[in-house]
Structures are given as C-alpha cells and as structure tokens.
Chain A
C-alpha cells in the first residue's frame, strides 16, 4: 500500500473540493426528511411519562377513530413479527411491551394521513400505568433492593463485534462488565515512588446532530425498504431481517446524505418502529423525530471513574488502575462494546507495565446510551490525562516532558496482544507544544495544557466494494459507506481516481443502498478511509488485472507483455486507455468492467486494532475568576493520520471533533433531576457556538505513511475530542492551582472550585 510517497500523488493527498459541495450549498442534497413516497403516511409517537412502570392498559379507540388516522399501534399489536432488537443483546422492544423503562420510551404510534393529524390524535390515547421504583444511577442500580430493569436473558445480537460474554439479564442491573489486566498493580503501587489517585465524572452528553432521527419504511409484498439516517445500513438491515423473518435479499436500507452522525446514528434506532407502522397499514410511513424526541432516543454513557496512576523514582509510569461505572440507560444498545473500548482506552498512549481496569455498565431508567464520538475514550481520557498532569505536578516534572518520557514508541507492543503502536507521539507532542507556545511566558489568569490520546480504532475489518469502469472511461464506485459529512463521497473517488489514473471528475459513486452497494459493516470508528479505502484500492487493482487480461485477449499477446501505465496499458508501441480496452473487448463502445474486493480479518488486517487513532492536542485558556467563565484563546490539534487522503477534510474533522470535545469540557451535560431529563432541548443543552471560537486555531497533520490503510493512511475524526475535557481541567489547574475532576467545567463549577481553594489556602 505504501508504494507512492507524499508528493507523488496526483489526486490523493490533495485538498480537492468536496464532491457533495454543490449539492449541499444549493440545498439540493437529499436527506431522508426531504424524501416523499407516493401514498406516504406519517407517524407520531406517544411516549412514557414514567421512568419505570407496568403498562396496565392502553385504549387507542378514540385516537383510531379520528378522521385521517390509519392505525394506532402499541406493543400489543406486534404478533407475527419479532419485536426485540439490539446490537449487543436483543433487549430493546420497538414499542414498549408490558413495561416502560425510561421517560420518553415509545409506547404507541399513530399513523395518519399527515403529521398534524397524527399529532392531534396522540392525546386521545389513554394509557394506564402502575408505577414501579426506578433506578437512576449506577449506585441505585447496584443496591440490594434495586428493581431489575430486565429480568430475563436475551438473545445476543448477531453482529455484535465483541468477544466477551454478554452479562446482561443475569439477575442484576449490570448490562456488561469488562476487565483488563496485565502485570501486578498491587505490587507496583506498593513500590511506587509517587501515586495520584482520584474520582472523576464525565457527563452524559448528546451528540446533537442537526438532523434528528428520521426513517421512511415501506413494508410490502416484496419485502421491507427503509430510508434512514443510519450510519450503518447493513447492521440495521440485519435487525430488520430478524424482526420480519425475511431473508436479507428482501430487506433494503437506503441512506442518502446524513445530517451529522458522530456515532449517535450508529446501529438501529427508529427503523423498526417505522417499519412496524408500515407493516400494519401496508403503506409507506415516515417517522420524523423532533430534536427533543431525538434527545429521548439516545445519549452517551456517562462515567464515574476511580483511577490511580503511579510512577517510579525516575518518573516512569509503572502502574494504572481504574474502576469505572458507566450508566447505560434502559437498553444495552451497543454499550457493551463501549465498555470494552473505554476499558482499553484507559491506558492511553503510554507504556505502562502494570494495568488493571474494571469497568461496569449499568442499566438505569434513563434514556438508552449508545455510541458517541470517541466511543468511550472521552469518558476515560478525562481521568487519564488529568492524572498525567497531576502526577507530573506532584513530582515536579513539566507535563509535556512527562508525556514524552512515557509515550509508547512506534513499533512497541504497548498494549499486549494488540497491533504494535504506529503513532509517532514524540513528533505529535513536539508539534503541539511548539504551536501552543508551551515554553512561552503566560499571563496571570491564563493557562495552557497539552494532552494526547490513542484509541484502538477501526472497529471490525469486514467490508467489500465494487468499482464499475464504463466503456467511456468514466467510473462508478459502489460503496456501502455513508456520507455523514466526514467526506466519504470525496475521499473514496479520490482513491479510485488515483489508482485508475483517471481524472477525479470522471469518478462518481453510488453509496449506502444495501440492495446495490456491496456489504460494508459500518461507517464509524474512523474506519472508512482505512478499510473501505483499502477495499477501493484492491477493487481498482483487481479491475486493472481484469483489463490486463482483456488487453492480452484483444491484442493476442501474453498477459506478461501487458504493462500497466497511468490510466491504461501499454503493449510495445500500442497504448490504450481503459475506455479503449473495454470497447475493444466488447467490440462496441459499450459494456463495463466490474472490479471487486473483500476485506476480512486476515492478512494486513489480522491484527486489532485496525489502527491506533493517535492525536495530540493543546489549549490556552483565560479564566474570569469572578464568574468562573473560561474562554479558549488558542486551540491546537495534531492528527497522526499516516496520510491524509484529503488534508482539508482531515483537518476539518479534527477541528470539528476538538470543538465537540471543548463542549464536553466547558458546557455540555445532560442533567437529570430524579428520573426527569431536565435539559432535553437546545434551550438548555449548551452547544459550542460562534462566540466560543478560539482566536487562534492551529491544525496539523503528521503524515509518516505508517498506517495499514491506503498509502499508509490511518483514520481520524474522533481523536481530537477525547482529550479536550482533560485539557480544560489541566489548564485551569495550571492557571489557578484548583483541580476539578468533574466535567464540564461550567462557570459555577469553576467558581466553586476557586472559592474552595481560596478557603483552603487561608486555613
């Protein structure tokens, strides 16, 4: 994959303008909410007002009698299909069945001629509940007398992608636990020269895609077709297939442009409910959630982490131990996988000889948690990178130097049994330090921080793709990858254009339609460039091999005599471009060549992770100590990406992730008062805005072509988020001496910490 070097690429490694640019700036880009099908009906959802309750009765007759209402469905109307689905475990009913497990859970759906009619009928549904005691935190969930949210074991999800045993449904509220251990932490902590220990809290957050969940389902005699805002259409297809007892060939997922994913649109969400509605009335049904409903559909796990880290007399980290409790809400979704990943990501990009991490994810009567950008990394990087700074301060070392001292080296198997590290952390940190002006003097009330993270990224290597080279030399690539904004519609044609030696403008794509585009497991975990990109290269090369054979056939020479040149072949004096090869082969300017590739966990992808997503970041902040308000003055990101297929897009992902990360460090948190989500609206959930823009932003990419992906590429787009909360906490500590272990560092939290610190220092 690494034959070409930086500087030798014609199209790859260039910031070509986005392929979807015109469509998006003219309003022509189609999202699911823009799609209309003939005869389409609309669904609206009635949601549970109780966190935990038995459903005693539901009377839908008044609603169903309304003019324009086609049907009202509840959990009692699902005979004939399999209503439970779920990525890790099938614990999630598409509508509440017998019991509700969180405020906001769908209890009934009205399907009507238009949205207004469906909405008006909702209040005519009478539901009687018998309230049960609710559990709201991991502590509640652990209590001896805690009611069980789920009292039976479930069928494991078919595609769950993690190997550990599923612990859900085994007579406790533990959804999943995961343990990681090497060395002997107890011994190490006994011998340690210095130890830092603390409890940290990373909040529940909401990814807040501007496009809320939406699905249009059409269940008819041919099968099930669903238009969805899903990131992983093939996974949703699998869930729907199981729900409707259909072969995969009769289930079709179509994903047009997605208005933001960030992990929150991973896996199945409202597609089963939309499909059940369509199944009932035998017409297409659109289910469009509002943003507030979306905030009652998914959130990220929060994490209570107890962590300790130890160094020896030389300042080398010798041990890290942590116990984490994550709150995964009413249904597992893919939290079991998040638990596994967040466990791994406690280690950070450091060589630590003794590690023990014990991680537990609990069912609670709150909105279900699912994956979020960083996939469990942000939750544990707050304690992880905070403790690096705390430890450095304790032993009198500069926190940047301390990181350099302990960073894993390229080629080091710093995480036993996993792919050796391929991040050049020293280079990354050096760039970050220089860009932030680490050594420069800093004014009072200002603080700097530098941090880093690495994630076992790329999810699971299972993908396939096809490339169609047409007789006129233009190319259509068929990819199961979805376009969430990350640029798959630009990067994949860039790779194909580079490989086939054709102009970028001649390569187009068809994406994310499971009936047409070959199987791709998922779009997430920063895996598209590495895995789909690799498949794209393989498919192009396979097509080229076919065209070499075609050339030999047409020119009546041996295959060995055919030389591949840029954009075609040469045999002696004769040079043919692909169009000529194909036209001659078919004896008409018609026909095509289809190249294909399969990727599985073998060969160069036999080791996990597919790659290490490694990033260094730095911030400089100023604090208004009277109000506690923090302003970010400078932001630096360094993405260790191997090779950026499109540098502008890679940098765009980094600043986007960093901004989202600053949100978690400064203001984003879902607030529960008892069972009630108090700020499930943009009026009270604070997102980063223009006014928060740092005055100076420096985005860097480190490209050593050291990854397993195309031309040495790795992936990116999540890493810059992970260390931001710690950066804020560390910068505040460096500026004021006050150490805050609870994100986000809202003005009031900062003010209180400074107040407490002042009180302490006057004692």
Chain B
C-alpha cells in the first residue's frame, strides 16, 4: 500500500436525515453506504458505470455510486433505495408498481432500476415510450426482458397503453 492516506469527515443528507461519516478519500459512495452505514440495498455489479445496479440519487440526479467518490456527496442530498418507502412502511408508488407489474425477478438490478425510474419521472412526469427507453437504457436487467419495467413506469406516470 502507498503511504498516502486521507481521512475525510463527510457530512451530507441521506434519505432525508443528516449523516456524518469518516471515510478514506478513495472510498466510493457505494462502499460508504454498504460497508460504513450498513445500507446494503445499493448493489455493486459491473463497477464500470455501465449497468446501473448501483444507482443512487444525488441532488435528484442518478449517479453510479460504485464509481462516485463518497467525497462528492458532501453537502448534498443523497437518496438510496432505503429512503423511498415511508417510515410507516408505505411503499413509494414506483416500488408498488414494480411489484404490481412483476418488473423484477432476481432483484439485483432492482434498487438501481427503481431509483433511475424515480429520477426519470421527477424530471419528466409524462415521458413517451421513447423517452423512457432513452433514460432507462443506462440500467441493465438480465431477467425481465425490460417490458414489465417499462409498463411499471408507464403505470406510475399514467401513460399506460395496452401493450400486450
């Protein structure tokens, strides 16, 4: 190991609450969430910014937490999958829609997928099918063939068409 080591004291908002965590400069947001804060809902998969399994929202924008330094989250508003449901357990509409439309199977891509879908509708509440595909194309699913995910998003947006 090199001799350099820098410990950062990071303060940011996580799922609506202020957090403070010490970490090393080279730690990614995914590492901090999973290993330091024990929030293992964020999944690590490709680690090269391609698959989106690690998607987390920072100031409402989707980022690849596997390659996004935790340092970058300082002072920002971070939302992980654990932050979507209400404290009384009521699911976020996107989570419920994923259940209703069978938009997942193994579930490993699902936290990232749901957060990406939420970010899409927050930015564009009534996206066309093409806009959904363009935005979501950065998230990969190996189980579902994508169709039920599109349907779940359209359901929440209220833009369903009978596509069967």
Contacts and interface: CB of A to CB of B under 8 A. Distances in A.
A and B touch in the complex (CB under 8 A): yes
Interface of A: 15, 17-18, 20-31, 33-34, 66, 116-117, 120, 207-212, 257-262, 290-291, 484-487, 648-649, 652-653, 655-656, 658-660, 681-683, 687-691, 693, 696-699
Given A26-B91, A291-B46, A689-B140, A484 B147 contact: no
Contact of A485 (B51, B114, B143, B148): B143
Contact of B41 (A18, A26, A658): A26
B104 interface: yes
B147 A693 contact: yes
A25 B91 contact: yes
A208 B114 contact: no
The 3 closest A-B pairs by CB, nearest first: A27-B41, A485-B106, A259-B108
Nearest to B47: A290
Contact of B99 (A21, A290, A691): A21
B145 A211 contact: no
B47 A485 contact: no
12 contacts: A24-B110, A25-B95, A26-B81, A30-B40, A209-B108, A210-B51, A656-B144, A660-B142, A688-B146, A689-B146, A691-B137, A696-B163
Contact of B105 (A27, A66, A487, A658): A487
Given A259-B43, A689-B146, 4 more contacts: A25-B98, A25-B114, A30-B40, A687-B142
B19 interface: no
Contact of A17 (B50, B99, B134): B99
B108 A31 contact: yes
Contacts of A120: 1
A655 B145 contact: yes
A27 B55 CA distance: 12
Contacts of B1: 66, 116-117, 120
B50 to A, nearest CB: 5
B4 interface: no
Contacts of B109: 210
Contacts of B163: 696-697
A208 B142 contact: yes
B2 to A, nearest CB: 8
B147 A18 contact: no
Given A24-B107, A486-B105, A691-B137, A697 B147 contact: yes
Contacts of B143: 260, 485, 652, 656
Contacts of A20: 107
A663 B140 CA distance: 13
B73 interface: no
Contacts of B149: 690
A24 B104 contact: yes
A66 B80 CA distance: 36
Contact of A262 (B50, B110, B142): B142
A210 B141 CA distance: 8
A313 to B, nearest CB: 42
Nearest to A30: B40
Interface in B85-126: 85, 91, 95-96, 98-100, 102, 104-111, 114
Interface residues of B, number: 55
Contacts of A687: 140, 142
B133 interface: yes
- Of B40, B47, B106, B144, most buried by chain A (CB within 10 Å of CB) is B106
Residue of A18, A21, A261, A683 with most chain B CB atoms under a 10 A cut-off: A21
A26 to B, nearest CB: 6
A656 B91 contact: no
A698 B147 CA distance: 11
Chain A interface, >50% SS class: loop
B24 to A, nearest CB: 8
Contact of B102 (A66, A117, A260, A652): A652
B69 to A, nearest CB: 14
Main secondary structure of the interface of B (DSSP, over half): loop
Interface centre among B46, B80, B109, B136 (most CB of A within 10 A): B46
B150 interface: yes
A243 to B, nearest CB: 28
A682 B80 CA distance: 24
A30 B95 CA distance: 17
A25 B104 contact: yes
A210 B45 contact: yes
Given A22-B99, A693-B147, A212 B84 contact: no
B29 interface: no
Nearest to A207: B142
Interface in B33-67: 34, 39-48, 50-51, 53
Contacts of A658: 145
Contacts of B41: 26-28
Contact of A655 (B106, B137, B147): B147
Given A27-B82, A210-B43, A262-B142, A683 B48 contact: yes
Contacts of A696: 163
Given A22-B91, A24-B110, A693 B150 contact: yes
Contacts of A682: 46, 48, 50-51, 140
Contacts of A261: 106
A34 to B, nearest CB: 4
Contacts of B80: 27
A291 B107 contact: no
Contacts of A652: 102, 105, 143-145, 148
B142 A655 contact: no
A34 B85 CA distance: 20
Contacts of A697: 145, 147, 163-164
A457 B107 CA distance: 26
Contacts of A209: 106, 108, 142
A207 B100 CA distance: 27
Contacts of A291: 45-47
B106 A648 contact: no
Nearest to A291: B46
Contacts of A21: 98-99
A698 B45 contact: no
A25 B145 contact: no
B139 interface: yes
Contacts of A208: 142
Given A257-B107, A696-B163, A18 B99 contact: yes
A28 B150 CA distance: 23
Nearest to A24: B107
B40 A27 contact: yes
A648 B103 CA distance: 10
Contacts of A18: 99, 102, 104
A260 B46 CA distance: 14
Residue among B98, B137, B147 with the most chain A CB within 10 A?
A: B147
A211 B108 contact: yes
B5 to A, nearest CB: 11
B142 A210 contact: yes
B102 A649 contact: yes
Contact of A690 (B100, B111, B137): B137
A210 B47 contact: no
A464 to B, nearest CB: 25
B50 A656 contact: no
A579 B91 CA distance: 33
Contacts of B48: 681-683
Interface in B3-25: none
B120 to A, nearest CB: 11
Given A20-B107, A208-B142, A655-B144, A693 B133 contact: yes
Given A26-B82, A31-B108, A485-B143, A212 B45 contact: yes
A15 B39 CA distance: 31
Given A262-B142, A649-B102, A687-B142, A210 B108 contact: yes
Contact of B139 (A207, A683, A690, A693): A690
A683 B39 CA distance: 28
A263 to B, nearest CB: 12
A21 B80 CA distance: 18
